[in-house]
Structure 1
Amino acid sequence: MSQPYTMNRSAITLLKALDDLVGDDFERFVFFLCQRDDKKIPKGAVFKKSQVVVAEKMIETYGNQDALQITIDILKEMKNNNLARQLEKQIQQQQKESDQNAVPVEKQRLAHESRETGQPAGVKVSVKEQEPDQYQIVMEKHKDWLKTRNSFIVEETAKDKKKIRLNDIYTDLIITKGESDAHDKVLMNGDSKLSDETRINCNDIFRKNEEEIKTVLTKGVAGIGKTVSVQKFILDWAENKANQDVEFLFVLPFRQLNLIEADYSLHELLVYLHPQLKGCDSNIYVDKKILFIFDGLEESRIQLSFRKGHVSDVHTKCKVEALIINLIKGKLLPSALIWITSRPAAANQIPSEYINHVTEIQGFSDSRKEQYFRKRVTDMNEANRIISHIKKARSLHIMCQIPVFCWISVTALQNCLTHIHKEEIPTTLTEMYSHFLLVQINRKNEKFDQSHEIDSKLLLESNKNMILKLAELAFKQLLNSNVLFSEKDLEECGINVQGAFLYSGLCTEIFKMESPFFRTKVYCFVHLSFQEFFAALYVFYCYLCKNLAEVKMFLPKTKVVEGVPLDVLMKHAVNEALKSKNGHLDLFLRFLHGMSLESNQRLLQGLLPHTMSSPESVEKIKQNLKHGQKKNINPERWLNLSHCLIEMKDDTLQQEIQTYLKSKKKSKKLTLAHCSAMANMFQVSEEVIDELDLKKYNTTEEGRRRLIPALRNCRKAILADCHLTKTSCENIASALQSANSPLRELDLSDNDLQDAGLKLLYEGLKSLNCKLEILRLSNCKLTTLSALCLRNSSLRKLDLSYNNLQKGIDQLFTGLKSPNCKLDTLRISDCKLTAESCKSIGKALEKSPLRELDLSCNELRDKGMKLVSEGLKSSHCNLNLLKLSDCKLTEQSCPGISLVLRKANSSLRELDLSDNDLLDSGIKVLSDGLKSSECVLEILRLSGCCLTSQSCSSLVLALHSNPTHLTKLDLSYNHLGPELEEFISLKRTSDNKLEANMDHCGELRIARGLKKYAFKLTLDPNTANTRLSLTEENTRLLLMTEHQPQGQDHRPKFQYVTQVLSAESLSGRCYWEIEWHQKASIAVAYKSISKRGRRNDCVFGCSKKSWSLDLSGSVGDLNNCSVMHNNKIMVSSCSKFNRVAVYVDVPAGILSFYTISSDPPTLTRVHTFRTTFTETLFAGFGLKNVNDSISLIHF
Structure 2
Amino acid sequence: LQQKFSLVFKDVAGDSAPLTQIYTDLYITEGGALEVNQEHEVRHMETASRTPAAPETTITCEDLFKSDPRSPEPIRLVLTKGVAGVGKTVLTQKFSLDWAEGRANQDLQLLFPFTFRQLNALRDTQFSLVGLLHHFFSPSKGLCSFHQLQVLFILDGLDECRLALDFSRTWILTDPTETVSLHVLLVNLIRGSLLPSARLWITTRPAAANQIPAECISIVTEVRGFTDPQKKQYFRTRFRDQSTAVISHIKSIRSLYIMCHLPVFCWILSTVLQKLLEQTEGPELPQTLTQMYVHFLVVQAKVQNIKNHQGAELHWAPETREMVRSLGKLAFEQLQKGNLNFYESDLSECGLDTAVASMYSGVFTRVFREEAGLYQDKVYCFIHLSVQEFLAALHVHHTFFSSGRNLLEQKLHFKRKPEVLHRSAVDQALQSQTGHLDLFLRFLLGLSVSTNQRLLQGLLTQTGSDRTNQETIKYIKQKLNEKGLSAERKLNLLHCLNEMNDLSLVKEIQKNLRGGRLSKRNMSPAQWSALSFLLLSSDSDLEEFDLRKYQASETAFLGLCGPLASVLSSSSLTHLDLSHNDLQDSGVELLCDGLKSAPCRLLTLSCHNCCLNELHLEPNTMGDVTLPLSTSLYTVYGLIGCGLSPHSCGPLASVLSSSGLTRLDLSHNYLQDSGVELLCCGLKSAICRLETLRLSGCLVSERGGAALASTLSSTSSHLRELDLSYNHPGPSAELLTALRELCPLLLDPAGEHWLVPGPRKYSCEFSLDPNTAHKYLLLSEDNLTVTFVKEQQYPDHEDRFTGMYSQVLSCTGLRGRCYWEVDWNGEVSIAVSYRKIRRSGIECRLGNNDQSWSLTICDGMYSVCHNGKQTCIGLFSSSGRVGVFLDSEAGALSFYKVFSYGKLFHLHTFCSSFSEPLFPGFRLWPDSEVTLVNLNTQRPLEDRPGH
TM bucket by the smaller chain? 0.5 to 0.7
Q: Quick one: higher RCO (CA 8 Å, sep 6+), 1 or 2? A: 2
Separation in 1 of the partners of 2:483 and 2:306?
Answer: 52
Q: Displacement, 1:184?
A: 1.2
Find the residue that maps to 1:752 and give its secondary structure: helix
Mapping for residues 720-739 of structure 1, pairs under 5 Å: 728=562, 731-732=563-564, 734-736=566-568, 738=570
Please state if 1:293 is matched with 2:154.
Answer: yes
Does structure 2 retain, via aligned residues, the 8 Å contact 1:675–1:703? Answer: yes
Find the residue that maps to 1:552 and give its secondary structure: coil
Mapping for residues 734-1133 of structure 1, pairs under 5 Å: 734-736=566-568, 738=570, 749-752=583-586, 761=593, 765-768=596-599, 770-771=601-602, 774=605, 796-797=636-637, 802-804=645-647, 815=658, 821-825=660-664, 827=666, 829-830=671-672, 832=674, 841=683, 848-852=689-693, 854=695, 857=700, 860=703, 864=707, 866-871=709-714, 877=718, 879-883=720-724, 889-891=729-731, 893-900=732-739, 903=740, 906=741, 908-912=743-747, 940-944=748-752, 1088=900
- The partner residue of 1:167 within 9, 20, 33 is 20
Matched letter for residue 359 of structure 1? T
- The partner residue of 1:567 within 419, 422, 426 is 419
Please state if 1:452 is matched with 2:321.
Answer: no
- The partner residue of 1:627 within 450, 457, 478 is 478
Q: Displacement, 1:509?
A: 0.5
Matched letter for residue 529 of structure 2? S
Find the residue that maps to 1:250 and give its secondary structure: strand
Does structure 2 retain, via aligned residues, the 8 Å contact 1:177–1:358? Answer: yes
Mapping for residues 182-581 of structure 1, pairs under 5 Å: 183-186=40-43, 189=46, 192=49, 197-198=55-56, 199-206=58-65, 210-211=70-71, 214-259=76-121, 260-284=123-147, 288-309=149-170, 311=172, 313-315=174-176, 318-334=180-196, 336-350=198-212, 355-377=217-239, 380-420=240-280, 422=282, 424-447=284-307, 449-456=308-315, 459-512=316-369, 514=371, 516=373, 518-552=375-409, 561-581=413-433
Matched letter for residue 282 of structure 1? S
Separation in 2 of the partners of 1:531 and 1:686?
Answer: 28
The corresponding residue for 2:767 is none
Q: TM-score, normalised by structure 2?
A: 0.68
Cα displacement string for residues 431-478 of structure 1 (whole angstroms, at most 9, x for unaligned residues): 32222222222222333x25223343xx34452112111111111112
- Pair 1:329–1:693, CA change in 2 (3 A): farther
Matched letter for residue 8 of structure 2? I
Q: How many residues are paired up?
A: 744
- Pair 1:319–1:634, CA change in 2 (3 A): farther
Separation in 2 of the partners of 1:777 and 1:353?
Answer: 46
Q: Displacement, 1:809?
A: 9.2
Find the residue that maps to 1:670 and give its secondary structure: coil
Q: Displacement, 1:596?
A: 0.7
Q: Displacement, 1:849?
A: 4.7
Find the residue that maps to 1:545 and give its secondary structure: helix
Find the residue that maps to 2:85 and give its secondary structure: coil
Find the residue that maps to 1:489 and give its secondary structure: helix
Matched letter for residue 944 of structure 1? E
The corresponding residue for 1:676 is 529
Does structure 2 retain, via aligned residues, the 8 Å contact 1:475–1:534? Answer: yes
Q: Displacement, 1:479?
A: 2.0
- The partner residue of 2:7 within 152, 159, 164 is 152
Find the residue that maps to 2:713 and give its secondary structure: helix
Q: Displacement, 1:811?
A: 6.6
Q: Which deviates more from structure 2 when the two are superposed, residues 302-311 or residues 215-224?
A: 302-311
Q: TM-score, normalised by structure 1?
A: 0.55
The corresponding residue for 1:654 is 506
Structure with greater helix share of residues? 1
Q: Displacement, 1:539?
A: 1.2
Separation in 1 of the partners of 2:661 and 2:45?
Answer: 36
Matched letter for residue 481 of structure 1? G
Matched letter for residue 471 of structure 2? K
- Pair 1:473–1:737, CA change in 2 (3 A): farther
- Pair 1:274–1:381, CA change in 2 (3 A): same
Does structure 2 retain, via aligned residues, the 8 Å contact 1:626–1:672? Answer: no
Q: Displacement, 1:589?
A: 1.7
Separation in 1 of the partners of 2:214 and 2:939?
Answer: 56
Does structure 1 retain, via aligned residues, the 8 Å contact 2:705–2:736? Answer: no
Q: Displacement, 1:852?
A: 2.2
Separation in 2 of the partners of 1:531 and 1:465?
Answer: 17
Q: Displacement, 1:908?
A: 2.0
Find the residue that maps to 1:341 and give its secondary structure: strand
Q: Displacement, 1:638?
A: 2.1
Q: Displacement, 1:1106?
A: 11
Separation in 1 of the partners of 2:730 and 2:385?
Answer: 70
- Pair 1:595–1:280, CA change in 2 (3 A): same
Cα displacement string for residues 15-47 of structure 1 (whole angstroms, at most 9, x for unaligned residues): xxxxxxxxxxxxxxxxxxxxxxxxxxxxxxxxx
Cα displacement string for residues 887-917 of structure 1 (whole angstroms, at most 9, x for unaligned residues): 8x543x34433323xx3xx5523423xxxxx
Cα displacement string for residues 90-109 of structure 1 (whole angstroms, at most 9, x for unaligned residues): xxxxxxxxxxxxxxxxxxxx
Matched letter for residue 881 of structure 1? L
Matched letter for residue 646 of structure 1? N
Separation in 2 of the partners of 1:679 and 1:332?
Answer: 53
Matched letter for residue 165 of structure 1? P
Does structure 2 retain, via aligned residues, the 8 Å contact 1:215–1:355? Answer: yes
Separation in 2 of the partners of 1:843 and 1:551?
Answer: 55
Q: Displacement, 1:222?
A: 2.3
Q: Displacement, 1:169?
A: 0.7
Separation in 2 of the partners of 1:352 and 1:743?
Answer: 35
Does structure 2 retain, via aligned residues, the 8 Å contact 1:219–1:344? Answer: yes
Return 5+ residue gaps in structure 1 as ranges. Answer: 1-145, 709-718, 720-727, 781-792, 913-939, 948-969, 974-991, 1001-1064, 1069-1084, 1090-1103, 1108-1172, 1181-1195
The corresponding residue for 1:618 is 469
Percent of paired sites with the same residue: 34
Separation in 2 of the partners of 1:370 and 1:946?
Answer: 61
- Pair 1:359–1:246, CA change in 2 (3 A): same
Separation in 1 of the partners of 2:389 and 2:284?
Answer: 23
> Higher Cα Rg: structure 1 or 2?
1
